């Protein structure tokens, strides 16, 4: 590394967030940017650690020490080339990835003496921040351009879904010379990047410019097409040599408590897309609006989806006593949106009923504290008698996780096998659909090591393959599935590979 003692000379710093009182008034990103000089100083903290666990903690295998050093040396264009060699969309991961690379950084376990001769823990390198800045510098300087293939094959590939997995696969396959068509059931390309992640974390211009790059490279995008319904499975397979399912895992876990169907109970994936459409200027009929302004809101769930709901609630002007309840023994993860409203966050809360106001609307939530204990290798929940409580509510948002991909339509038509978590046997979509009526199994599309499903020539990547996960995993799966599809079509592939066995997370 260019500065062997940078990690001793400089403290970890991150650019300040925009002031709370300012950012809750709009939907612009709440992050700010470092100057080049400040960022180079942070890059100087990347130590010559011998075994850089950071890039082994990243599913993409990003060569983090390499581009940290290039930034420190001021070689920004070379840093961008290094970053792009493993990651198609670093401006996405630099904004919304929870950075497992930083958790793996050697500096997370390094101690040094401070000015008072006391041991001080040195924090990880600001890898994600540097990654985002490299990409943004590339766009500003005009270094990021379309790279259409020099030669074309006669192979046609259909990609169903335009989230990060689908987009990464589309770019890799197109650059390999194949004719690539991406089908998206919504009216905009981007999947959860557009209709899940709020603008205050990822402004949609950031997605749009990458989509435009793919268009210039020759990727054909078709929106408003729900494959399996608007386009038959038979026609799909007849028209393409290979199909990639990148349809996500948006079948939400259901609330089964009494009152779950009252007016005012909404699933996160109904609320979040509507918020993003509203920010984009789309017309939303008054009777369909989910507006938390000046209302009492309870969020059920403690993950990133719940936090995204909270951020939108803060900007809609909900009453300050927003509550966030998590069923498991884990406090909801603190995020920048939590400091905007200081919600009442509690773990180990079971919702027993949503109370009716007498006219079919939400009036309150009835809950109880629970405790968890391990029995016979499994965690079991015990209700704590005497801990029952009732809190008023106008809106209850359900962000309790996801079960798997939607089985109706496309998957039923393809008849691909599904894997139900906790069992060794695969299931047909029809059987999983029947199981969902009585229970809520977590499942995914079954695939082999080469990402091919039980149907010849049909592949799967992203959340539909591994369950709801991180954007960095989606991009990795998209890239790996693209390489396997290229090899399936051509007999071999020159696309790069990052074997999952080398990944430490």
Angle subtended at Cα 390 by Cα 384 and Cα 396, rounded to the nearest 5 degrees: 110
Long-range contacts, 68-75 (Cβ 8 Å, 24+): 68/1, 68/43, 68/125, 68/127, 68/130, 69/1, 69/2, 69/43, 71/39, 71/40, 71/43, 71/130, 71/133, 71/134, 72/1, 72/2, 72/3, 72/6, 72/40, 72/43, 72/44, 72/46, 73/2, 74/40
- Phi then psi for 159, rounded to 5 degrees? -115, 125
From the number of C-beta atoms within 10 Å of its C-beta (0-12, 13-18, 19+), residue 439 rates as: exposed
Boundary residue ending a domain (365, 400, 435): 400
Residue 7 token pair: 């990690």
Nearest to 18 by CA among 28, 32, 4: 32
Half-sphere CA count of 163, side-chain side, radius 13 A: 32
172 and 123 belong to one structural domain: no
Residue 126 and residue 88 in one domain: yes
Residues 244, 309 share a domain: no
CATH number, position 87: 1.10.1060.10
Q: Which two tokens stand for residue 235?
A: 């026609």
Residue 386 lies in a domain: yes
Domain count, the chain: 3
Same domain, 384 and 264: yes
Prediction pTM value: 0.94
Neighbours of 262 (CB within 10 A): 17
Q: What is the CATH number of the domain that holds 282?
A: 3.50.50.60
- Cα dihedral 154, 159, 163, 169, rounded to 10, equals -40
Q: In the 8-state DSSP scheme, what is residue 108?
A: G
Same domain, 15 and 85: yes
Of the three residues 141, 173, 194, the one that is the final residue of a domain is 141
Residue 149 is assigned to a structural domain of this protein: no
**DSSP per-residue codes, 68-87:** HHHHHTT-HHHHHHHHHTT-
In a domain, 236, yes or no: yes
Residues 259, 395 share a domain: yes
> Does residue 437 lie within any of the structural domains?
yes
In this structure, the answer to whether residues 137 and 24 fall within a common structural domain is yes
Domain region containing 60? 6-141
SS3 263: strand
**432 and 366 inside one domain:** no
Indicate if 131 and 160 belong to the same structural domain.
no
Q: What is the pLDDT along the chain (505 residues), one digit of tens a residue?
A: 668 888 888 988 889 999 999 999 999 999 999 999 999 999 999 987 888 888 788 899 889 999 999 999 999 999 999 999 999 999 999 999 988 888 888 888 655 555 555 555 558 899 999 999 999 999 999 999 999 999 999 999 999 999 999 999 999 999 999 999 999 999 999 999 999 999 999 999 999 999 999 999 999 999 999 999 999 999 999 999 999 999 999 999 999 999 999 999 999 999 999 999 999 999 999 999 999 999 999 999 999 999 999 999 999 999 878 999 999 988 777 889 999 988 999 999 999 999 999 999 999 999 999 999 988 888 899 999 999 999 999 999 999 999 999 999 999 999 999 999 878 789 999 999 998 988 899 999 999 999 999 999 999 999 999 999 999 999 999 999 999 999 999 999 999 987 653 444 4
Residue 124 lies in a domain: yes
Given 110, 141, 172, which residue is the final one in a domain?
141
With vertex at residue 203, the alpha carbon angle to CA 175 and CA 332, rounded to the nearest 5 degrees, is 110
Is residue 227 assigned to a domain? Answer: yes
Q: Which residues lie across from 221 on neighbouring strands? A: 182
DSSP-assigned letters across all residues of 428-454? -HHHHHHHHHH----EEE---TTSB-S
Taking residue 110's Cβ as centre, other Cβ atoms within 10 Å add up to 16
CA distance 33 to 487: 41
Residue 148 domain-assigned (yes or no): no
Residue 67 located in a structural domain: yes
Asked whether residue 385 falls in the same domain as residue 422, the answer is no
Q: Are residues 270 and 218 in the same domain?
A: no
Whether residue 394 sits in one domain with residue 265: yes
């Amino acid at each position: 590394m260019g500065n062997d003692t940078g990690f001793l000379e400089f403290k970890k710093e991150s650019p300040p967030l925009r002031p709370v009182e300012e950012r809750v008034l709009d939907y612009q990103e709440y992050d700010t940017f470092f100057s080049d000089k400040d960022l180079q100083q942070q890059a100087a903290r990347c130590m010559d650690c011998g075994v850089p666990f950071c890039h082994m903690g990243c599913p993409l295998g990003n060569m983090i020490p390499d581009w940290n050093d290039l930034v420190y040396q001021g070689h920004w264009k070379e840093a961008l080339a290094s970053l792009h060699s493993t990651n198609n969309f670093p401006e996405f991961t630099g904004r919304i990835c929870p950075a497992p690379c930083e958790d793996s950084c050697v500096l997370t376990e390094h101690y040094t003496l401070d000015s008072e001769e006391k041991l001080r823990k040195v924090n990880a390198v600001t890898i994600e921040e540097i990654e985002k800045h490299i990409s943004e510098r590339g766009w500003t300087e005009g270094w990021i351009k379309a790279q259409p293939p020099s030669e074309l094959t006669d192979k046609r590939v259909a990609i169903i879904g335009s989230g990060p997995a689908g987009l990464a696969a589309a770019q890799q396959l197109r650059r390999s010379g194949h004719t690539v068509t991406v089908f998206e059931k919504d009216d905009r390309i981007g999947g959860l990047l557009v209709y899940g992640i709020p603008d205050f974390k990822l402004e949609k211009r950031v997605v749009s410019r990458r989509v435009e790059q793919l268009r210039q490279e020759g990727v054909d995008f078709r929106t408003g097409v729900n494959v399996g319904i608007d386009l038959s499975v038979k026609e799909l397979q007849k028209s393409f040599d290979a199909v990639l399912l990148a349809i996500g895992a948006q079948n939400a876990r259901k609330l089964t408590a009494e009152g779950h169907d009252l007016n005012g109970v909404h699933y996160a994936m109904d609320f979040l897309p509507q918020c993003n459409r509203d920010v984009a200027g789309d017309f939303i009929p008054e009777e369909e609006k989910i507006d938390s302004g000046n209302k009492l809101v309870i969020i059920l769930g403690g993950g990133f989806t719940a936090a995204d709901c909270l951020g939108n609630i803060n900007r809609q002007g909900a009453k300050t006593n927003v509550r966030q309840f998590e069923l498991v023994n884990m406090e909801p993860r603190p995020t920048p949106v939590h400091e905007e409203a200081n919600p009442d966050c509690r773990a180990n809360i079971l919702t027993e009923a949503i109370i009716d106001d007498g006219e079919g609307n939400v009036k309150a939530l009835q809950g109880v504290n629970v405790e968890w204990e391990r029995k016979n290798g499994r965690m079991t929940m015990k209700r704590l008698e005497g801990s029952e409580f009732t809190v008023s509510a106008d809106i209850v948002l359900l962000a309790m996780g996801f079960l798997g991909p939607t089985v109706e339509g496309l998957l039923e038509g393809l008849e691909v096998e599904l894997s139900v978590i906790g069992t060794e046997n695969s299931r047909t979509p029809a059987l999983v659909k029947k199981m969902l009526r009585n229970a809520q199994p977590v499942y995914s599309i079954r695939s082999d090591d080469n990402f091919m499903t039980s149907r010849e020539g049909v592949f799967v990547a992203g959340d539909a393959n591994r369950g709801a996960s991180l954007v960095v995993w989606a991009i990795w799966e998209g890239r790996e599935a693209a390489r396997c599809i290229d090899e399936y079509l051509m007999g071999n592939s020159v696309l790069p590979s990052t074997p999952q066995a080398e990944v430490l997370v």
